[in-house]
Amino acid sequence: MTSIDTWPLWMAIVFAGGPILLGCVGIALCVYLSRRHLDAIVDALKNSRYLYIWAQGWRRQGWIGECVLINRVAGMVVWPQYYIRCGDVDPLEIRRFPSHLKKLLTAYVVTVVVTIVWMFIVYLLVKFK
C-alpha cells in the first residue's frame, strides 16, 4: 500500500474530501425525505409500535427530529428482521411498503454506509502513511 503523501495533490484532495461531499449529499437526501415524504412513510407504517409511540414526538423537534425519524425508519425498512423480532414494526406493513419510498430509503442508507466506509479508509491512509 502506497502512502497518500506520494499521490498527486489533486487526487489526494479529491479522495480525502470525497466523504465530506458525500456526507453533505446524505444530509440533503435526509432533509428531502423528511420534508417531502415523511407523511407518506408514517402513513405506510401506521400500525408499527415505534412510529405509534415516537413519531409525533420526533416530528415536533424540527428538522433534526425529522431526520432522526427518517434514520430509524430507513433502518427498519432496509433491515427489518431485527425490528420485526423486537415488535417495533409490523411485517405486513413492511411487505406492503411502497416501493418508490423503499428505493429512496435504500439509497439514503447506501449513501450513509458508503460515506462511513470511505471515511474509515481515508483515516487509515492518513494514519498509516
Cβ atoms 11, 90 nearer than 8 A:
no
Degrees to nearest 5, angle at CA 28 with 22 and 34: 140
pLDDT given at position 3: 77
List, for residues 12-33, the tens digit of each pLDDT value: 899 999 999 999 999 999 999 9
Residues in the chain: 129
Q: Name the pTM for this structure.
A: 0.88
List, for residues 39-50, the tens digit of each pLDDT value: 999 999 989 998
Instruction: Inform me whether the pLDDT recorded for 89 exceeds 80.
Output: yes
Which cell goes with 122? 481515508
Degrees to nearest 5, angle at CA 15 with 14 and 21: 65
Cβ atoms 69, 101 nearer than 8 A:
no
Distance, CA of 86 to CA of 40 (rounded, Å): 23
Model confidence at 1, pLDDT cuts 50, 70, 90, reads low
Instruction: Inform me whether the pLDDT recorded for 98 exceeds 80.
Output: yes
CB count in 10 Å sphere of residue 45? 24
Which cell goes with 71? 434514520
Of 44, 25, 21, residue with least CA distance to 102: 44
Q: How far apart are the first and last CA of the chain?
A: 9
